[in-house]
Structure 1
């Protein structure tokens, strides 16, 4: 599983990481530097596989 956080209004994105703490740290730093940026979106990528049952 990989996670990233995006800031949709200004199109900025955290680094993608397998550890959720890295994107979360980015959000906290970014929010501290830009108090008006308060809407974030977490994006989680999970590899899934589906098999067709016959």
Structure 2
């Protein structure tokens, strides 16, 4: 399993944004994608407090 910091992931999706803006945009995108939330098994509280995500490699 490989972990990536939320800021790093956000900047990969939004490379022209500041780190803060990229994280905000990524969180908004995650919150709007209910299917992704179900697959990730995350609650809104976990999303607000998570600083890193883990992916199986």
Of Structure 1 and Structure 2, the greater helix share is in 2
Q: Does the TM-score normalized on the shorter chain lie above 0.5?
A: no
TM-score (norm 1): 0.37
TM-score (norm 2): 0.36
